[in-house]
Structure 1
Amino acid sequence: MKSRALTTIGAAAAALALALTGCASDAGDAGGATGDKLSAVMYSSNNETVIGVVTDAAAAHDPAVKVEAVTGSSGPLLERIASESGAPAADVFYSAPAATFEAFADYVEPYLSPEAAAIPEELIDPDHRWTAANAHVVAFMVNTNQIDGGKAPKSWAELTKPEWKGKVIAPNPEQSTTGFTALYGAYKVLGKEDFEKLVANLELTESTSNVYPAVAQGEYAVSIGYESNIYPYIAGEQAGIEMVYPEDGTFVEHDSVLLVKGGPNADGGKALIDVILSKKAQEENLAQSFRRPVRTDIDVASIVDFKALDDLNVVDIHGDDDTQGRADFTEYWKSL
């Protein structure tokens, strides 16, 4: 099973003196450029592997760069940026879907990285407030050992059948971006009547992280989530685990990065965004955390066994009608 690590995380990160902290006052003490050194404070909702890739890449780019990472969920971290706007402590936020940023646009400093030249124009905010850093693709994680006959479902339509009731776990869309992306998309594909049949079959969880081990451990036959979180089980060659892109439509969500307005280390923040969007860092994130890159100059299939987006039936969930569509779906979901 293809899964190629391009470098070893650890040594460079140690040399970089990464600080994982939840303390705003510690973050604020990072300081700006001093002599030949640059600092940057990054608020991040990403896991340790992704953060390690970024800090390793920053160290390789310039060993003098010091990065401090403050970790947490995206919503609270963005709220923190808003609350700190009088005296910002962060330089960079990485990452969340662009739609999430709109409510926090007043706290963003526009910045167009030179690395954005390799990123499709539609993934860059027209006002350069944020830029997509990676793509998430919705897929089913299937444990065929938990299915009579061992045949994985291939479509959303198949999961509406009564025999799947109680066998499928999904994140609650009111609590999870992953859940919202998948189920809003499924609603568009299925229509109201069949979507309600799907919902009747689902077991919902408040935490996205629960859905993958629940299938791996045989508690459920199918989970709905992102390929990047399913693929570790595929790469690990766990018996009976398959990843299925639904034939009647899958959906893509992009996580973006932004520069915080008035951050203490503007130059360091810009340098860090350049690193995050660089080819090297995006290849590393693909190899080590299975985050699909958005750059057009990376051969995804040479690093992991992901299908090309052109080979999938991708249904657009970001069209002109989807801003209202998402709001309507939120109210509809509450009524179920």
Structure 2
Amino acid sequence: MKHPFAKFLQSCAVALSAFGLVAADASAQSKTSLLVYTAIETDAMKMYKTAFEKAHPNIEIRWVRDSTGVITAKLMSEKANPQADVVLGVAASSLALLSQENMLLPYEPAGFKELNQMFSDQKRPPHWVGMDVWGAVVCFNTVEAKKLNLPKPESWKDLTKPVYRGKITMPHPASSGTGYLDVTAWLQMWGEQQAWQYMDALHENVAQYVHSGSKPCKQAGSGEFPIGISFEFRAHQVLRSGAPIELIFPKEGLGWDIEGSGIIKQTKHVDAAKKLVDWMASKEANQISANWWAIVAYPGVAKKMEGIPENYEALLVKPNDFDWAAKNRDRILTEWSKRYNAKAEPGK
């Protein structure tokens, strides 16, 4: 038989345990959960989430990740009943479309004036804020090229030479932001008629249009195809992994886009969403971005990247009209698909 005082202690322990569970449950319930649609690379997702949630322990990020084109289509399909709170790490050409559709909340984050203004929306207050720049690159497998006796291309137009037939992969512009920045850069550089003629000729040499901006460089790195049109983040990563690739920056100029963040206008968590966009504009967030990107929005933070030339920023096609790319997206993708979709990778 238990002593009455022991019974009392046991009762207290049970009560305290129950109180602890209630308190923990209340704490979990008080945490704001932000649904964030993103196209950032999976390499970066964990670092952003960990650092932000450490700075804001009462806010939790729940990611929905896919390629830029898929995320853009998802947001547009949900326009009447938005599900996301924030869109983060999505192409400026897509964010401009969301802005034109009146889906983004105008907001100037804390610290915005510290950022390079050319890499954000030009409206004031901005509808979206830039994080980093990504640009086109050609990944060239030197080992496979030697086996196949392929010369090293120096330009976009070199890629139309018959020697490269069936040797090139490229991102599909409807699903990949990288594919879309390539197409819109060519259209802006050369004009519509010449650009479509170029893409007709390039199409003859393309083996497959894949649904990711990263995949063509990974394919080149593994030797599946000797040439992959990709972007510098993934090219740098594949090169660092030891793959026998050389990074080629075509001399005519590079298509490019900006990864940015914006708040969905109908979010029920405006304050938490603003805190996330504030944090993405911070030096700390830009320092994380600088692990992978040669150009970030916060001046002086970017590092020298292996394989990326010193004049990389000067190679970016200018002007690059994101509003034009957004307004003409449906027209461009319809025409592109009509001409080239027969070589699209299955799926999506």
Deviation at 1:93, TM superposition (A): 1.1
Q: Tell me, yes or no, if structure 1 residue 163 matches structure 2 residue 166.
A: no
Change in CA separation of 1:310 and 1:138 when aligned onto 2, cut-off 3 Å = closer
Q: Which residue of 1 aligns with 2:215?
A: 210
- The 2-side partners of 1:70 and 1:285 are apart by 19
Higher mean C-alpha deviation, range 151-160 or range 226-235: 151-160
Distance 1:310 1:233, change over 3 A: closer
Query: In structure 1, how many angstroms separate the alpha carbons of the residues matched to 2:321 and 2:90?
Result: 18
Native 8 Å contact 2:93 2:323 kept in 1: no
Q: Aligned residues: percent identity?
A: 18
Q: How many Å separate the matches in 1 of 2:59 and 2:299?
A: 27
For structure 2, the 5+ residue unaligned runs are 1-25, 340-348
Match of 1:141 among 139, 142, 145: 139
How much does 1:326 deviate?
Answer: 6.0
Q: How big is each residue's C-alpha offset from its partner over 1:225-269, in whole Å with a ceiling of 9 and x where there is no partner?
A: 11111111111122x211111112112111221112232221111
Contact 1:32 1:40 in 2 (8 A): no
Partner of residue 117, structure 1: 113
> Would the alpha carbon gap of residues 45 and 129 (structure 1) be closer, same or farther in structure 2, given more than 3 Å must change?
same
Q: Which residue of 2 aligns with 1:59?
A: 53
**Counterpart for residue 260 of structure 2:** 256
Secondary structure in 2 matching 1:52: helix
Structure with greater Cα Rg: 2
How far the C-alpha of 1:317 sits from its partner, in A, is 5.8
Aligned to 1:220: 225
Within 5 Å, give how 1:1-336 maps onto structure 2: 34=30, 39-72=33-66, 73-79=70-76, 81-85=78-82, 89-104=83-98, 105-125=101-121, 126-127=123-124, 128-148=126-146, 152-189=152-189, 191-192=194-195, 193-208=197-212, 209-238=214-243, 240-287=244-291, 289-290=292-293, 292-301=295-304, 306-308=308-310, 312-316=314-318, 318-319=320-321, 322-323=324-325, 329-330=332-333, 332-336=335-339
CA distance in 1, matches of 2:95, 2:200: 30
Contact 1:90 1:264 in 2 (8 A): no
Aligned length: 299
Offset of residue 53 of structure 1? 1.8
Tell me the secondary structure at the aligned position of residue 316 of structure 1. coil
The offset of 1:330, in angstroms, is: 3.9
Determine the C-alpha separation between the residues in 2 that align with 1:137 and 1:147. 24
CA contact (8 A) 2:290 2:302 kept: no
Query: What is the letter of the counterpart of residue 89 of structure 2?
Result: S
User: TM-score, normalization: structure 2?
Assistant: 0.74
SS at match of 1:54: helix
CA distance in 2, matches of 1:275, 1:309: 29
After superposing the two structures, state which structure 1 stretch, 100-109 or 262-271, moved more.
Answer: 100-109
Q: After the TM superposition, which of the residue ranges 321-330 and 134-143 deviates more from structure 2?
A: 321-330
Is the 2:119–2:132 Cα contact (8 Å) retained in structure 1?
no
> 2: CA distance between counterparts of 1:107 and 1:183?
25
Gaps of 5+ in 1: 1-29
8 Å contact from structure 1 (residues 290, 304) kept in 2:
no
Find the aligned partners of 1:93 and 1:110 in 2 and give their Cα distance: 13
Q: 1:312 to 1:255 in 2, by over 3 A?
A: same
Match of 2:344 in 1: none
Cα RMSD after superposing both structures:
3.1
Q: Which amino acid aligns with 2:161?
A: K
Counterpart AA for 1:212: C
Pairwise CA distance, 1:136: 1.0
CA contact (8 A) 2:37 2:87 kept: yes
- The one-letter code of the counterpart of 2:102 is D
